[in-house]
Structure 1
Amino acid sequence: MAYTRRTANFEKNESFKNSENSSSAGTSQKPMENFVSLSSINPYITCPLCNGYFVDATTVIDCLHTFCKSCLLKYFDEDNTDCPKCHYQIHQSHPSHYVAFDRTMQDIVYKLVPGMQAEEQRRREQFKLKQKKKEDKERREQEKNGSFEKDENGGDLASNESPETSKSNEEENKGKEVPTNTKDDDECCSSEQDPSLMHRRNDEPVLIRLIPDSKLDPIDRSFVRLSAFATINTVKRLLAYLLFADITKYNEFDIFCNYELMGRDFSMAFIRKTRWRNKPEPVVLMYKERLDF
C-alpha cells in the first residue's frame, strides 16, 4: 500500500515538473507578430480629394470626415459649403469656421508612413526659400524701376512729388510716431485694426430668452444677449455647457421659435426678422430633447 502511494506521489511530481517545464518553455518563446499591410490602412489616412496622405489633417466638426487643409480650403473657395465626402451641409456662408485641425490623425499618419514627416518639412523649407527669393527679386526690381530714381529737380519719380512737397511732408511727419506692425501669430488683429470692428462688438446685439419644455431643466439665467451673427449652433453649445457642463453634447437639443424647428446655421438676425418678425425683444427660443426619426 505504501509502495503504491509513493509511486503515485512520484508520478504526480513528475507530471507537475513536466507541465512546469512546458509552461516555462512556452513563455520563453517570442509571441508571433502580426504585420498589417499599409495598403489596408490607406483608406483611413488618405485624403478623398487628392488621394494622398493627409497633410495638415483637418476634420469637419459635425460629420468627422478628414481632409488635407489645403484641399478642403480650395474646395470651399469654389463656393462649396458641404462636406466633400458625405455632402453634409456644413454652413451656408462660413463652412471654414466649422472645421478643425486634427493633430491626432496627423500624428498617426506621420508614424505610419516612413519618412513622410521629414519629407514634408524639407518641402516646406524649400517652398519658403523659393518664396523668399521671389520676394527679394521683386523688391530689387521695384528699387531699380522707381524707388531710388530721382528726377532733374531731385524729386522722387515714384511719388511724383516736388522737392518742396517732399520737404513739407517730411516736416509734417517728423513728430508723428510711425506705426509698426507688432502682430504675431497669436494675435487676431494687427495694431492698425480695431478689435471692436473686427469682432463686431459694436453691432446691435439680439436679446433672447431660453425656455425648456417639460422634460428639460431650466437654466439659471434664461435671458442671453448675443451677437446678431451668432447661430443656433452657438446656442446649443451654450445650453450643453450650462446643463451638462459638456459642450460636446450640443447635438442633444432642438431649438424652436414659434413652434418651428430652427436650422443649426440660422443666425439671430435671421430669426428675429423672419421668424420673430421684428416683434419686441426678447426673442423666445424653446429647447427640447432631440428626436431622431
Structure 2
Amino acid sequence: MFRYGGTDEEPQLKLKIKNLNQNIVCILCAGYFIDATTITECLHTFCKSCIVKYLQMSKQCPMCNIKIHETQPLINLRPDRTMQDVVYGLVPNLFESEERRKRDFYRARGLDKVQSKVQQKSFSGKLDPSGGHFYRNDEQVSLCLEKYRYQIVGEHEGAYTCTVLQKRYIRCSVRACVSHLQKLLVKKLAIPDRMEINLYCDDHILYEDEPMKYVWLAHWQGKAAPMVLHYQVESSKSAADKNG
C-alpha cells in the first residue's frame, strides 16, 4: 500500500502498488525497473540490462516494434533517473535489496575492494563546485556539509572543539557511502585520531555503509537540493559508550 499526500483539507490518497505495476514493471523480466532506461524514439522504459540484452538480437522496441536505429540501437537509450527514483520510492526495500545484491555479486568475485577504490576516487578533495563541471556516467548528488547545531563532545579530558568548513558544498556519486564522507571530513577538518565524526541527515544518524542514494530516499526525498548533512565530532570513547 502506497500513501500519498494528505492535509487537513485533503484526504490522504492510498494506492495499491499492484495497481501501478503496468507503469513500473519491466515487460522483459517481469520485475520492477532496475537502472530504468528509456528508448528515446518511443519513450518506452525497461531495465537497462534487459533492454541491452534484447537489442543484441533485435533493433526494434519490444513493446511497439518501432525501429530504434538502423545499425546502432544502443545510442538511442537514455537512463531514466526520474522513473527509477519513483520506483524506489514506491516499492519498499527495493533499493536496499538491489544494493545488497550488487555487494554480494562483487564480493563473490573479489571485486568489492576495487569498487571501494573507485568510489573513493569520486572525491577530488575540492569542496567548491564552482571550480568546474563534472561529467560522470553515474548519477551525482549535491550535498551541503554543516556543523551539527548540538555540538556536545563532553566535559571529560581531551574534549575537542569542531571547526566549520569554509567550503561546505560537494558533489559526489550517489553510490558513495557515509564512510567516504567521514574520511573526507577527517582530512579537511584535521580531526585527531582520538576523535571520530558522525553524520546526520534530518536529525537521523547515518551508518557508515549507507550510500547517498539510500540517505536521499530515506531522509530527503521531496526536499530541495542540496541535501544537508550535519557533522558532529566526539571522542571515540563517547561514541563507543553511545553505541554500546
TM-score (normalizing by structure 1): 0.35
Counting helix residues as a fraction of each chain, which structure ranks higher? Answer: 1
Query: Which structure would you say has the larger Rg?
Result: 1
TM-score (normalizing by structure 2): 0.42
